[in-house]
C-alpha cells in the first residue's frame, strides 16, 4: 500500500497527497460507510500522526581483515559506547558431535568460559564482571555460536580474553567435572515437565536414528566419559577460520574490526574437520503417536510437517502462509478457531523451523483431557482446509502488512543487530538485505502463497505427537 | 560535570493524575508503549481470585467503540506486537510498535481505559481460556504447583499468598460483574503509569499523552491499599513430593524490606544479595558449589519493587548424593560465614561489579520500559530510579552488614523442599 512508503523527508506536500490516496483506498475497499459510522477512526489517526514512518537508516558493510582475510559484516552504531560481536562456527552443532561423544559441543560451550591459561575460573569470572564484559557460547543443532559484548572502555581486555579462550582455554579437571555433573542433572530435570518430555519424544519420532533425533543436551554415558583431550580436539576440528562467520555492531570502526578479526580469530586453525550430517527425510505419513502421562493437567501436542530452507524460492510465500495459518498473536486461523471462538485452549500456534538438514513447519497446542479431542479435530480441519482453499486476499494483505510494519522491531539492541548480521551471512542474504527484506515480502503474489499452501499443507500430511491422559477419549 | 544518566527517564503528570514516563532512545524508529495499572491480584475481593487476570484478557475483547476483532485487526495490520501480563501488584498492557503507529496504539489504549464492554459470550469464552491457561502454566508444571503451595505458607493472611491466576474453582465461579467491578474501581488515569520508551522526545510525548489521555476522567479515588503486617521471626517449612520430580531442590525465603516498607534498606540489601549469591563469583557459589561440592547451583535474589513487602530468596540444587536437608544446613552455615567474613574490600568489589555495566541499560528501549515501568508502578520516583547508581555507591560497608544481620534476625525463614516421590 502506497502510504507505507512515506518517509520523513517527503514533506507536507507529499503527505497531503498521500492522505487523499488513503481516503480513496478506503472508499474503493468498501469501508467508507464503516468509517463514517464509528467514532474510532484508525485511518485518520494514522494519517494525521505527528510521528511519521522512518527507515532504519543503517547499512552494514563487509570488512575483510588484512592478514588472514577473515570476513565480517559490520554495522557501526554509535549511540552508546558498547560493542557486540556475534560469531558462529557453521556445521559444528550437536548433530555433528561424534556418535560416541553426544553432548560434547554443549560441554565445550560451558567449559570455554571457565578460564584461560593465565586466569583460573574464578579470576576469569571476576575480570568479566569487573569490566562488564559478557562472553558466552552455545551449541544448536547445526552450529556452534558465541557472543561477546563489551563497553568501548574495556574493549581491548574483552578482545584479548576472547583470543586467550581460543588460544589456550583452561579446561581444568575440576571445572570439567563440575560441568559434567551439572549436565547430568540437566538431563534428569528434562524429564520433569511434560512439555520437555514431549519435545524429546517428538525429535525421536520424527527423526529416529538420524542425528537430528538426538537429545539436544547429549547422552549421559558419553558426557561422563569426556576428557580434557576430547575438548581440545573438538576445538581443533570444529572451530576454524573456514567455518567461521562474524557479525559486529555498535561502537567499532571498520579499521578496529579488521584488527580484531586478525588478532582474535586469526589464531584459529585454517580448516575444520566436521562430521557430515546428511539430510533428514522424515516420513510425514507416519501419523500420530500418544505418550501416556496420567498426571498431566493438560494434554499437549506437537506437530511437524515438511518446511523449506531459508534460501529456497518457496521461503517467502511459506513464511507469509504460516503467519496466516498459525503465526504470532490471536488472529491466526488456528488461534481464531480453537481459542478465540471456542475457548478450548490457551495456546495454539505454528512456526517455520529452518534447520539446515530438515526444514519443518512445526507447532503445537494443549487442552484439558476432556476438550483435547475437539482441539485436535479443529487443528486437522484447519490444516486440511488451508491446504485445499488457501488464504483470502484480505488475509494475505493483512499478513504482509504485519510482517512489513513490524520489521523494525528487531533492531532494538546491538546484540540483536550483530545476530542479524550473522544470519545474513549464514543464509547468503546479501549486504542489502536490511533494505530489501520488505520488498521481498511485498512482491510475493497471492498465487504464490496459495500454491505453497497447497504444496505444504497437504491433507493429513503431518506428524502429531501427544502427551497426556488419553483414557477419556 | 553532568551526572551520567542511568536510563535517561523523565516524567510528568497529566491533570487527571496519569503519570507518564518517557525514555528517549533514537537508535531505531521503534517504541515500546506500556500502560501499567497499579492493580493486581492483591486487589481482588476475597474469594474472587483470578479477577485481575481475567480482566486483563477481556481488555482484548472490545469496547463500546472498537470490537475485539477490530482491535486485533488494527494492531496486526500495523505490525504492532501487543500483549499484557498480570502480577500480584500490577497489570500491564504493552505494545512494541513502529514509531509511526504509536498514535494508533495510544488511541486504542485510551479507549479501553474508559470504554470496555464485556459481552456474556466473550466473558464465558475468556473464562474458559484462562482456565486452560491455569491448567497449562500451573497444573501441568510440577515446580509451579510446588511454588503455589509454598507462597501460601510464606505469606499466610497477606494477599501475596494468592495465585495470580486464581484457583481452578475460583476461576469457574467468577461472574461478569466481578470483572466489571474491578475494572471500574481500578482502571483510571490516577491509578496508572504510561511508559513510552523509544524514538520519541519529551515534548511529543506530552502532546500525545494529553491528546489521547488528557480528557479521561477518574471515576473514583482509588484508596491506598493497606497491607497486613507479618509477624517477625516466623519459621515454617514445606516439604512436597511429586511423582514427576526427579531431583530434590531447596528454597529459603525471607520477607524483606521493599521500596515502600523501608526505602533506606533496599540499596544495602541489593549489594548484600549480589555479594552473597548473585552469580558464580558470589560467596555461596564459591563455598557450596566450588569448595564443599554440596550443590550444583545456588543463588540469591532480592526484589524490592513491590507495593507491600519485598523478598529475599536463596535457591539451591543439591549435588548427587546430598539431600536437600543437608544442603539446607550447609546454606545456613555458608550464609553466616559470608556475613561474618564480609570486609570493606569485598563490598567495594561487589559495588564495582554492580556499577561496571550501567551503560548497557541505555541500549534496549524495550527492556528499559519494562524495568523502569515496574519500578515506577511500585511507587519509585524517577529521581530515585535515575539515582540508583549513586545510591548504591554511597552505601557504607557497615550499612550492608547491618542490613544483612537485620534480614536474618528479624524476618524469620520459610523453607521449602521439593522432592521426588518416595524420597522422604
Query: What is the tens place of the pLDDT at every residue in B245-292?
Result: 999 999 999 999 999 999 999 999 999 999 999 999 999 999 999 999
Q: Is the pLDDT of residue A11 over 90?
A: no
Q: What percent of chain A has pLDDT over 70?
A: 92
**Whether the Cβ atoms of residue A303 and residue A200 lie closer than 8 Å to each other:** no
Cβ–Cβ below 8 Å for A345 and B107: no
Provide the pLDDT for residue A298.
Answer: 94
From the list B30, B102, B367, the residue facing A411 with the nearest CB is B30
Look at the domain B9-213 and name its fold.
Cytochrome Bc1 Complex; Chain A, domain 1 (3.30.830)
pLDDT at A57 over 90: no
pLDDT of residue B222: 87
3-state secondary structure A414-447: HHHHHHHHHHHHHCCCCCCHHHHHHHHHHCCCHH
Q: Are residues B79 and A151, on separate chains, in Cβ contact within 8 Å? A: no
Minimum-distance CB partner of A49 among B100, B279, B281: B100
Inter-chain touch A42–B74, beta carbons under 8 Å: yes
Query: What's the confidence (pLDDT) of residue B207?
Result: 97
Q: Assess whether pLDDT exceeds 60 at residue A29.
A: no
Q: What is the CA radius of gyration of chain A?
A: 25
Measured CA to CA, the distance from residue A465 to residue A290 in angstroms comes to 6
The answer to whether A49 contacts B104, with C-beta atoms less than 8 Å apart, is yes
For residue A472, the model assigns a pLDDT of 58
pLDDT of residue A55: 77
pLDDT bin (cut points 50, 70, 90) of residue A22 is: very low
- Find the range with the poorest average confidence among A4-13, A58-67, A444-453, B76-85: A4-13
Q: Measured between CB atoms, does A80 come within 8 Å of chain B? A: yes
Superfamily of domain B234-420: Metalloenzyme, LuxS/M16 peptidase-like (3.30.830.10)
Q: Band the pLDDT of A123: cuts 50, 70, 90.
A: very high
Q: Is residue B3 very low, low, confident or very high in pLDDT (cuts 50, 70, 90)?
A: low
Annotate chain A with three-state secondary structure: CHHHHCCHHHHHHHHHHHHHHHHHHHHHCCCHHHHHHCCCCHHHHHHCCCCCCCCCCCCCEEEECCCCCCEEEEEECCCCCEEEEEEEECCCCHHHCCCCCCCHHHHHHHHCCCCECCCCHHHHHHHHHHHCCEEEEEECCCCEEEEEEEEHHHHHHHHHHHHHHHHCECCCHHHHHHHHHHHHHHHHHCCCCHHHHHHHHHHHHHHCCCHHHCCCCCCHHHHHHCCHHHHHHHHHHHCCHHHEEEEEEECCCHHHHHHHHHHHHCCCCCCCCCCCCCCCCCCCCCCEEEEECCCCCCEEEEEEEECCCCCCCCHHHHHHHHHHHHCCCCCCHHHHHHHHCCCCCCCEEEEEECCCCCCEEEEEEEECHHHHHHHHHHHHHHHHHHHHHCCCHHHHHHHHHHHHHCHHHHHCCHHHHHHHHHHHHHCCCCCCHHHHHHHHHHCCCHHHHHHHHHHHCCCCCCEEEEEECCCCC
- Residues 186-205 on A with a CB inside 8 Å of B are 188-189, 191-195
Inform me whether the pLDDT recorded for B230 exceeds 90. Answer: no
Q: Tens digit of pLDDT for each residue in A414-430?
A: 999 999 999 999 999 99
A49 interface with B at CB cutoff 8 Å: yes
Give the confidence band of B4 by pLDDT, cuts at 50, 70, 90: low
- Span B379-424, pLDDT tens digits: 999 999 999 999 999 999 999 999 999 999 988 799 999 999 975 4
Please answer whether residues B142 and A193 qualify as being in contact, where contact means their C-beta atoms are separated by less than 8 angstroms. Answer: yes
Give the mean model confidence (pLDDT) for residues A44-69.
89
* Nearest CB partner across the interface for B129, out of A191, A339, A398: A339
**B2 has pLDDT over 70:** no
Q: Do A367 and B132 touch (CB under 8 A)?
A: yes
Q: Which of A409, A417, A322 lies closest to A82 in space, CA to CA?
A: A417
Interface touch A185/B349, C-beta < 8 Å: no
Instruction: Check pLDDT > 90 for residue B300.
Output: yes
For chain B, the domains span 9-213, 234-420
Per the prediction, chain A carries an average pLDDT of: 90
Query: What are the structural domains of chain A?
Result: 2-47 (no CATH), 61-265 (3.30.830.10), 288-468 (3.30.830.10)
pLDDT digits (tens, 9 = 90+) for B174-194: 999 999 999 999 999 999 999
Residues of A in contact with B246 (CB under 8 A): 188-189, 191-192
Shortest Cα distance from B162 to chain A (angstroms)? 20
Query: Is the predicted pLDDT of residue A18 greater than 70, yes or no?
Result: no
Minimal CA separation from A353 to chain B, in Å? 21
Confidence bin at A5 (pLDDT 50/70/90)? very low
8 Å CB contact of A367 and B320: no
pLDDT given for residue A32 in this prediction: 32
> What's the average model confidence in pLDDT over A145-161?
98
pLDDT band at residue A381, thresholds of 50, 70 and 90? very high
Are the Cβ atoms of B103 and A192 closer than 8 angstroms? Answer: no
pLDDT, position B234:
83
Residue A329 predicted with pLDDT over 50: yes
B234-420 has the same fold as B9-213:
yes
| Segment 254-293 of chain A within 8 Å of chain B by CB | none
Distance from CA of A94 to the nearest CA of B (A): 24
Indicate the pTM of the whole model. Answer: 0.93
Confidence of residue B358 (pLDDT cuts 50, 70, 90): very high
pLDDT level of residue A13 (50, 70, 90 thresholds): very low
CB contact under 8 A, B135 and A414: no
Amino acid at each position: 500500500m502506497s502510504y507505507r512508503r512515506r518517509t520523513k523527508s517527503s514533506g507536507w506536500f507529499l503527505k497531503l497527497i498521500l492522505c487523499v490516496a488513503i481516503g480513496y483506498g478506503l472508499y474503493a475497499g468498501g469501508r467508507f460507510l464503516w468509517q463514517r459510522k464509528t467514532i474510532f477512526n484508525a485511518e485518520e489517526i494514522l494519517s494525521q500522526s505527528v510521528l511519521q514512518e522512518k527507515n532504519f537508516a543503517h547499512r552494514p558493510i563487509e570488512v575483510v581483515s588484512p592478514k588472514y582475510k577473515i570476513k565480517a559484516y559490520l554495522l557501526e552504531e554509535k549511540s552508546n559506547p558498547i560493542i557486540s560481536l556475534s560469531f558462529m562456527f557453521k556445521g559444528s552443532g550437536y548433530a555433528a558431535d561424534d556418535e560416541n561423544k553426544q553432548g560434547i559441543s554443549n560441554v565445550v560451550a560451558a567449559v570455554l568460559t571457565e578460564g584461560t591459561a593465565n586466569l583460573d575460573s574464578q579470576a576469569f569470572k571476576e575480570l568479566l564482571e569487573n569490566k562488564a564484559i559478557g562472553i558466552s557460547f552455545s551449541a544448536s543443532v547445526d552450529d556452534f555460536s558465541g557472543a561477546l559484548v563489551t563497553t568501548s572502555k574495556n574493549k581491548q581486555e574483552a578482545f584479548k580474553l576472547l583470543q586467550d579462550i581460543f588460544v589456550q582455554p583452561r579446561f581444568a579437571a575440576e571445572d570439567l567435572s563440575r560441568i559434567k555433573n551439572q549436565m547430568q542433572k540437566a538431563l534428569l530435570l528434562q524429564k520433569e515437565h511434560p512439555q520437555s518430555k514431549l519435545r524429546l519424544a517428538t525429535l525421536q519420532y520424527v527423526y529416529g536414528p538420524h542425528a537430528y533425533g538426538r537429545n539436544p543436551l547429549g547422552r549421559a554415558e558419553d558426557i561422563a566419559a569426556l576428557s580434557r583431550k576430547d575438548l581440545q580436539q573438538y576445538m581443533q576440528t570444529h572451530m576454524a577460520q573456514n567455518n567461521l562467520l562474524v557479525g559486529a555492531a555498535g561502537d567499532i570502526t571498520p579499521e578496529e574490526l579488521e584488527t580484531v578479526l586478525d588478532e582474535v580469530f586469526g589464531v584459529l586453525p585454517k580448516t575444520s574437520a566436521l562430521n557430515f550430517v546428511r539430510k533428514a527425510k522424515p516420513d510425514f505419513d507416519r501419523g500420530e503417536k500418544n505418550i501416556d502421562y496420567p498426571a498431566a493437567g493438560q494434554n499437549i501436542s506437537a506437530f511437524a510437517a515438511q518446511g523449506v530452507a531459508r534460501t529456497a524460492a518457496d521461503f517467502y510465500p511459506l513464511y507469509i502462509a504460516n503467519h496466516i495459518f498459525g503465526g504470532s498473536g490471536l488472529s491466526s486461523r488456528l488461534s481464531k478457531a480453537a481459542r478465540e471462538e471456542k475457548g478450548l485452549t490457551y495456546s495454539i500456534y505454528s512456526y517455520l523451523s529452518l534447520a539446515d538438514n530438515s526444514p519443518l513447519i512445526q507447532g503445537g497446542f494443549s487442552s484439558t483431557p476432556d476438550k483435547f479431542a475437539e482441539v485436535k479435530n479443529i487443528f486437522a480441519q484447519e490444516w486440511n482446509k488451508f491446504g485445499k482453499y488457501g488464504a483470502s486476499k484480505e488475509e494475505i494483505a493483512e499478513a504482509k502488512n504485519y510482517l512489513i510494519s513490524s520489521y523494525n522491531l528487531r533492531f532494538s539492541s546491538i546484540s540483536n543487530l550483530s545476530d542479524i548480521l550473522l544470519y545474513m551471512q549464514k543464509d547468503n542474504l546479501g549486504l542489502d538485505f536490511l533494505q530489501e527484506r520488505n520488498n521481498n515480502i511485498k512482491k510475493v503474489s497471492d498465487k504464490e502463497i496459495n500454491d505453497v499452501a497447497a504444496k505444504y499443507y497437504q491433507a493429513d500430511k503431518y506428524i502429531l505427537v501427544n502427551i497426556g491422559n488419553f483414557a477419556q477419549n | 560535570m553532568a551526572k551520567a544518566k542511568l536510563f535517561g527517564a523523565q516524567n510528568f503528570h497529566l491533570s487527571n493524575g496519569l503519570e507518564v514516563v518517557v525514555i528517549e532512545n533514537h537508535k531505531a524508529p521503534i517504541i515500546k508503549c506500556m500502560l501499567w495499572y497499579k492493580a493486581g491480584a492483591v486487589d481482588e475481593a476475597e474469594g474472587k481470585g483470578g479477577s485481575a487476570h481475567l480482566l486483563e484478557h477481556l481488555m482484548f475483547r472490545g469496547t463500546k467503540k472498537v470490537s475485539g476483532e477490530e482491535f486485533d485487526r488494527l494492531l496486526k495490520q500495523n505490525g504492532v506486537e501487543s500483549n499484557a501480563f498480570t502480577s500480584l501488584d500490577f497489570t500491564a498492557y504493552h505494545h512494541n510498535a513502529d514509531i509511526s503507529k504509536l498514535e494508533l496504539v495510544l488511541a486504542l489504549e485510551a479507549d479501553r481505559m474508559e470504554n470496555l464492554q464485556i459481552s456474556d459470550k466473550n466473558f464465558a469464552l475468556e473464562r474458559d481460556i484462562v482456565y486452560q491457561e491455569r491448567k497449562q502454566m500451573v497444573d501441568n508444571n510440577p515446580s509451579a504447583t510446588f511454588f503455589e503451595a509454598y507462597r501460601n505458607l510464606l505469606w499466610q493472611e497477606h494477599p501475596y499468598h494468592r495465585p495470580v491466576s486464581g484457583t481452578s474453582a475460583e476461576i469457574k465461579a467468577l461472574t461478569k460483574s466481578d470483572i466489571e467491578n474491578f475494572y471500574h474501581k481500578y482502571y483510571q488515569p490516577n491509578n496508572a503509569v504510561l511508559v513510552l520508551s523509544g524514538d520519541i522526545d519529551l515534548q511529543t510525548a506530552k502532546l500525545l499523552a494529553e491528546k489521547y489521555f488528557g480528557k479521561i476522567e477518574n471515576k473514583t479515588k482509588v484508596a491506598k491499599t493497606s497491607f497486613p503486617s507479618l509477624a517477625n521471626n516466623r519459621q515454617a517449612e514445606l516439604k512436597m513430593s511429586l511423582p514427576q520430580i526427579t531431583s530434590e531442590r531447596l528454597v529459603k525465603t525471607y520477607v524483606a524490606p521493599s521500596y515502600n516498607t523501608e526505602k533506606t534498606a533496599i540499596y544495602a540489601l541489593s549489594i548484600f544479595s549480589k555479594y552473597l549469591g548473585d552469580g558464580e563469583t558470589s560467596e555461596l557459589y564459591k563455598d557450596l558449589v566450588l569448595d564443599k561440592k554440596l550443590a550444583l547451583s545456588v543463588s540469591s535474589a532480592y526484589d524490592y519493587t513491590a507495593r507491600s513487602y519485598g523478598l529475599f530468596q536463596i535457591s539451591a540444587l543439591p549435588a548427587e548424593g546430598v539431600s536437600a536437608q543437608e544442603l539446607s544446613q550447609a546454606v545456613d552455615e555458608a550464609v553466616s560465614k559470608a556475613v561474618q567474613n564480609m570486609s570493606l574490600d569485598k563490598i567495594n568489589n561487589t559495588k564495582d561489579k554492580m556499577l561496571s555495566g550501567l551503560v548497557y541499560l541505555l541500549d534496549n528501549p524495550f527492556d528499559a520500559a519494562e524495568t523502569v515501568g515496574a519500578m515506577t508502578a511500585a511507587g519509585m520516583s524517577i529521581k530515585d530510579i535515575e539515582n540508583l547508581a549513586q545510591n548504591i555507591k554511597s552505601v557504607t560497608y557497615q550499612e550492608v552488614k547491618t542490613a544483612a544481620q537485620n534480614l536474618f534476625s528479624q524476618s524469620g525463614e520459610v523453607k521449602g523442599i521439593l522432592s521426588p516421590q518416595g524420597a522422604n
